[in-house]
Structure 1
Amino acid sequence: MPEMRFVIRWPDGASETCYSPSLVIKDFFRVGEAYPVEAFAASAREALTIASDRVAARYGFPCSRALGQLARIESVAARFRAQPDAHVFVQAFEE
């Protein structure tokens, strides 16, 4: 499966490189766009679940790395949910 990384910038300015086992991320995010934290987390949840399900369909087990990445995104996003103007910026895709 074609794995990829996507680089994001959190509302506090911290950059993070995230992992996906599938290019499906490109269906949910665009480089150069900013997303409200809750919308970003919801889209990441959907995209990474689809990606993990694709791994499960092919190899017989879900992608633990994708699910771990999702847990990380959910955890960090929770810190910013109280800030209504907080956005996550998608900086790059790396294939």
Structure 2
Amino acid sequence: MPEMRFAVRWPDGAESSHYSPSLVLHDYLTTGESYGVADFVARAGEALDAAGERVRAAYGFACTSAMASRDEIVRAAAGYAGGEVTVLRMEPPLPAEAS
């Protein structure tokens, strides 16, 4: 199962990097896009939950790293009353779609 890292910039300019055990985050977030803090937390949480479930389906156990990333994001977001979170990088990127 391919894994990935994604980096974001918080409303105050702070940057953080997070882990996902699956490329499913590409279905929820887009590199270069900005999301309201609450929207970002919801999207990232849903994506990381889906990634964790993919691990459970494939290996029979939950991915604690996906849960830890989700918890890190929730904790970081609690420090912001508003503003936007920008997705800086998602690595690896999705393969180019066939034309």
**TM-score in same-fold range (> 0.5):** yes
What is the alpha-carbon distance in structure 2 between the residues aligned to residue 79 and residue 31 of structure 1?
23
Secondary structure at the counterpart of residue 32 of structure 1? coil
What residue is the counterpart of 2:97 in the other structure? none
What residue is the counterpart of 1:75 in the other structure? 75
- Structure 1 residues not aligned, in runs of 5+: none
The alignment covers a number of residue pairs equal to 92
Secondary structure at the counterpart of residue 43 of structure 1? helix
Q: CA RMSD in A?
A: 0.7
* TM-score, normalisation: structure 1: 0.93
Q: Which amino acid aligns with 1:93?
A: M
* TM-score, normalisation: structure 2: 0.90
What residue is the counterpart of 2:30 in the other structure? 30
What is the alpha-carbon distance in structure 1 between the residues aligned to residue 61 and residue 42 of structure 2?
23
- Structure 2 residues not aligned, in runs of 5+: 93-99
What residue is the counterpart of 1:87 in the other structure? 84
What is the alpha-carbon distance in structure 2 between the residues aligned to residue 69 and residue 51 of structure 1?
11
1:10 is displaced (CA, Å) by 0.8
1:12 is displaced (CA, Å) by 1.1
1:17 is displaced (CA, Å) by 1.2
